[in-house]
Chains A and B, each alone.
Chain A
Amino acid sequence: MKFVFEKRKTQLKRLLFLIPFISFVGSLFLSGLLLLAFKTNPLMVYGAMFKGAFGNWFNFQETLVKAIPLMLAGCGVIIAFRMRFWNIGAEGQLVMGGIFAAWVSLFLIDFIPPWLVLPAAFTAALIGGGLWAGIPAILKAKLGVDETLTSLMLNYVAIIFCQYLYNVVWIDPNGYGFPGSKIFDKAAWLPRLTGRVHLGLIFALIIALVLWFMLKKTKWGFELKIIGESPMTAKYLGINIPKNIIIALFISGGISGIAGMGEVTGIAHRLTHGLDMGYGFTAIIIAWMSQLNPIAAIFVSILMSVLLVGGDQVQRTMGLPSAIGLLLQGMILFPLLAGALFSEYRVKSIKSIGEAVK
């Protein structure tokens, strides 16, 4: 028996669902090998992680809290990736959204009625993230500059600008030198549903649904798909590619920006460190794993959050580095990318008839 790859004549739909699942299992297996190499029982680690994420009501809430920015940034990345626009700047867009929301909560708040503060922060975060994604979009649309590099580098500009703000410019004068702005006025606190789970969860769910509907059912979603699948065809069909790139990327960055607003106004209630936790990068894995489907991204985000929270828990209970969660996340990508092969090719077994030559 021998196995060979053969190109498929059709694409299998059910594989699209199977591959992410298999990839996750594969990641558990690969990471397990690594853990074994460090003389740790992987099953115990996974058990501890699971318990850490779901073990009690408090832990489960924490899992949801971390899933919120992941869902939002994941949805943001999905729009861009649908057009084959490789926006890997969700991290920076999230941070910019946080900065803009903080500006409203710290300064604009004095000039507007209290009920308007949160809507204003929401809008500002959308604009902040959107503009930050708009830079690589305009550079790409007008000058053909590669978006991978520009969006990646802008992450660091946003992160360091944010540090500059909370360490120097907006630092709380009564904060004993602790890096961070002053605590926002209550009017700028995003309401909480339960525990630390804030209203951002509802935003995320609504945005995912709206996005799914938009991509699947509207003319504009159809145009984005054509641009992504074949830009030449889109041009031939009279679709305005530069305009669509810019609009889509503004929305993409804007949604990531709302994730930043959730962190700032829903959790920390001040601008401080902790915005650049890597949610924007994990969002890339989420986008791939959910096969660019916003609804799937909700569930994948929770899964990724389990890994994050579980990783923290493992650190506490087993004395292992919390990076195990990140390791598992990264490990998912390998089988996932390999899985793409199987959706295009099939494996055929060869019962050797006659004599194989050489």
Chain B
Amino acid sequence: MSDNHAKMKHSIGTSNRWEMYLDNREVILEMRNITKKFPGVTANDDISFSLKKGEVLALLGENGAGKSSLMNVLVGLYRADAGSIYVNGQKVSITSPSVSSSLGIGMIHQEFMLVDTMTVAENIILGIKDLNLVPDMKAISEKISEISEQYQLKVNPSSYIWQLSVGERQRVEILKLIFRGANILILDEPTAVLTPQESKELNGIINQMKKEGKSAIFITHKMDEVMAFSEDVYVLKQGKLVASKRTSDTNPKELARMMVGREVLFQFDKGEYKPGKSVLTVKDLCAVNSKGLEALKTISFEVKSGEIFGIAGVAGNGQQQLIDSVTGLQKIRCGSVYINESDCSNKNPIDYIKAGVSYIPSDRLGMGVAGTMTVLNNLAMKGYRDKPFSSHGLLIKSYFKKFAENMIDLFRISTPGPETIVKFLSGGNIQKAILAREIDSCRNLLVAAYPSRGLDVGATQAVRTRLIEQRDEGKAVLLVSEELDELLMIADRIAVMFEGEFMGIVDSSNTDREELGLMMTGMKRDQVK
């Protein structure tokens, strides 16, 4: 795994004094026998755990395993159906987020709750009740600076939020909680939005917090995070606590197995690479972004049947415009897009759909599904135009149902039923539903944008397996991803995008992370070699 993991293991494993200190720390939080039910699902089933002062623990589990529900109970967003919570040995009843924050418990959600147009200091005091009518901003800024120095949370109190990077915003969130006296910090997948560099800094911040006696709980499905940050790890599966371990006593493989309840294949069975004729042909394509600025500069490539063509690169280098241009969602400035030798340049999405192009978009809830409609309807959204979904303009609802049940079964979509509103599903299951619909309707080309982003191990594996299946069936797959491991694992050829251009196209069997990494930073392939 990562270097951090090794270091952490080392420091914990060798120092006896540290080990003893660990055991003598007082327990500051206990959740006992927490059960939380929703209609049709038990989100938490009799879960108990305790957290010590200065301890960092990880809650590991797949999407929908019950991690977020458990933490929402702790911060007062949900009420448990059974069980009790003890803070500093006292039984407490957490009825709202304000109660939990007065108990020193604070949560940092994946989407930051910051006001863009206000400064760091203003955001930090926002919502604090016992402030003067005109708060003494100078004193507040000083206190903020003091805390940020103490915890190595470098951020300027007078900066506006919109000026800050994602990593800095996260620091503001942490600062906000500490400023308000939080002793227990809950972090919901904190590194999902961070660059590797920022993740390393977060590691430093967490260590500093531990030294200052703060405790933290990580909600995560990433092994790196667990190994790098936590001392104890609790594994949740389908609402149940299936294991609790000292992090130093376990390893990513074992954790992954406990989390998904089966051996995770990190390798895929991939048929021989036998590219056929070109399905998608892009010639000298250029296009602008929504602000009218040049986003693609004369890009040319082909995706052949029976291959997965990967596009690597840091997000925002024109990938979205490229995808939109080959699915009809945006107009192109020059060049041409051919699907199977028919010219589709500047045609509409419907023409691409009719040409047999399927598309798994990165914005799942916004674009991939209509969140307020049922699973059944969402699954039928590609097929509804033709038989057997409809005939003579009339929908055949009995087929909708049959189709949905079939897809739910085939793609292992975990849902209470086909009539469930899709936004109530977990992220992984929403993605599985989109995957089911798009793969079922795919005839020639499958475009997948960041298909495994934010998914747990099980769902990620399902997505990748399906993409390979499509390739082996002789379809062309265009895969845009930020994860080099994913691309190296399943793509046949990889193009690296930088500032609207391809830095080069390489065979995945003939390249490595290093080469791709250099190209991602703007080096052309011939310069790398």
CB within 8 Å of B: which residues of A? 2, 4, 6, 8-11, 217-222, 225-226, 229-230, 232-240, 348, 350, 352-358
What is the CB-to-nearest-CB distance from A24 to chain B, in angstroms, rounded to a whole number? Answer: 25
CB nearest to B389 among chain A residues: A219
Taking CB atoms, residues of chain A closer than 8 Å to B370 are 226, 229-230, 233-234
Instruction: Sort chain B's interface into a size bin.
Output: 35 or more
Q: Which of A8, A230, A240, A354 contacts B366 (CB 8 A)?
A: A230
- Name the A residues within 8 Å of B421 (CB-CB): 10-11
For A229, list chain B residues within 8 Å (CB): 370-373
Asked if B165 is at the interface of the complex by the 8 Å CB criterion, the answer is no
Structural contact, B384 and A356, CB atoms closer than 8 A: no
| Residue numbers in B under 8 Å from A239 (CB-CB) | 350
Does B150 reach chain A (CB closer than 8 Å)?
no
Q: How far is the CB of A108 from chain B (nearest CB, A)?
A: 33
Nearest A-chain residue to B38, judged by Cβ: A9
With both chains docked as a complex, state the minimum distance between the C-beta of B389 and any C-beta of chain A, in angstroms.
9
Flag if B79 contacts A350 (CB, 8 Å): yes
Q: Is the CB of B395 within 8 A of A222?
A: yes
Least CB distance from A251 to B in Å reads 15
Point out the residues of chain A lying under 8 angstroms from B78, CB to CB: 6
Q: Identify A9's interface contact among B41, B99, B329, B353, CB under 8 A.
A: B41
Which A residues touch B366, using CB under 8 A?
Answer: 230, 232-233
Query: Judging by beta carbons under 8 Å apart, are B99 and A220 in contact?
Result: no
Name the contact of B348 in the complex, choosing from A221, A232, A238 (C-beta under 8 A).
A238
Greatest chain A CB density within 10 A among B84, B93, B385, B416 is at B93
Separation of A350 and B93 alpha carbons in the complex (Å): 9
B382 within 8 A of A: yes
The answer to whether A236 and B92 touch (CB under 8 A), given A218-B393, A230-B372, A350-B79, is: no
Render B43-79 as a binary contact track against A, CB cut-off 8 A, 1 for contact. 0000000000000000000000000000000000011
Is the Cβ of A219 less than 8 Å from the Cβ of B84?
no
Cβ contacts A to B, 23 pairs, < 8 Å = A4-B95, A6-B78, A9-B38, A10-B421, A218-B395, A219-B394, A222-B377, A225-B373, A225-B377, A229-B373, A230-B369, A230-B370, A233-B368, A236-B327, A237-B349, A240-B348, A240-B350, A348-B79, A353-B84, A356-B92, A357-B92, A357-B102, A358-B102
CB contact list, B188-238 vs A, under 8 A: none
- Counting CB contacts under 8 A, is B424 at the interface? yes
A352 in contact with B93 given A225-B373, A233-B381 (CB within 8 Å):
yes
Known: A219-B384, A230-B372. 14 other contacts (CB 8 A): A6-B79, A10-B38, A219-B394, A225-B377, A229-B372, A229-B373, A230-B367, A233-B366, A233-B369, A236-B359, A238-B353, A352-B93, A352-B95, A358-B99
CB pair A357 B424 closer than 8 Å: no
Per-position 1/0 for B22-45, Cβ under 8 A of A: 000000000000000011110000
- B331 CB to nearest A CB, Å: 13
Prevailing SS type, chain A contact patch? mixed
B363 an interface residue at 8 Å Cβ cutoff? Answer: yes
Contact of A230 (CB < 8 Å), options: B39, B371, B397: B371
A236 and B367 in contact, given A10-B424, A230-B372, A358-B99 (Cβ under 8 angstroms): yes
Q: Say which residue of A226, A238, A355 sits within 8 Å of B91 (CB atoms).
A: A355
By a CB distance below 8 angstroms, the chain A residues around B84 are 353-354
CB contact list, B418-443 vs A, under 8 A: 420-421, 424
- Verify A236–B349 contact, CB threshold 8 A: yes
Question: Do residues A353 and B91 form an inter-chain contact, with CB atoms below 8 A?
Answer: yes
Bound form: Cα–Cα A174–B384 in Å: 60
Distance in angstroms between the alpha carbons of A297 and B394 in the assembled complex: 23
Which residues does chain B contribute within 8 Å of A220, judged by CB atoms?
393
Chain A residues, Cβ within 8 Å of B368:
233, 236
User: Does B300 count as interface, using CB distance less than 8 angstroms?
Assistant: no
Q: Are A9 and B39 in contact (CB under 8 A)?
A: yes
B369 proximity list for chain A (CB < 8 A): 230, 233
Q: Decide if B119 is an interface residue (CB 8 Å cutoff).
A: no
A10 and B39: CB pair below 8 A? yes
- Report the separation of the CA atoms of residues A274 and B95 in the bound assembly, to the nearest whole angstrom: 56
- Beta-carbon contact of B373 and A355 below 8 Å: no
| Cβ B103 vs Cβ A235 within 8 A | no
Contact B372 A219 (CB under 8 A): no
**Interface membership of B310, Cβ < 8 A:** no
A6 cross-chain contacts in B, Cβ below 8 A: 78-79
Q: Is B90 an interface residue (CB 8 A)?
A: yes
Asked whether, in the complex, the Cβ of B93 is within 8 Å of the Cβ of A235, the reply is: no
Bound CA–CA A8/B348 (angstroms):
38
Assess the A218–B394 pair: CB atoms within 8 A. Answer: yes
Determine if A217 and B395 form an interchain contact, defined as CB atoms under 8 angstroms apart: yes
Q: Are B385 and A356 in contact (CB under 8 A)?
A: no
Closest to B37 in A: A9
Q: Which residues of B contact A352 (CB under 8 A)?
A: 93, 95
For A353, the chain B residues whose CB sits under 8 A away are: 84, 91, 93
A10 and B394 contact, Cβ closer than 8 Å, known pairs A4-B96, A236-B329, A238-B353: no
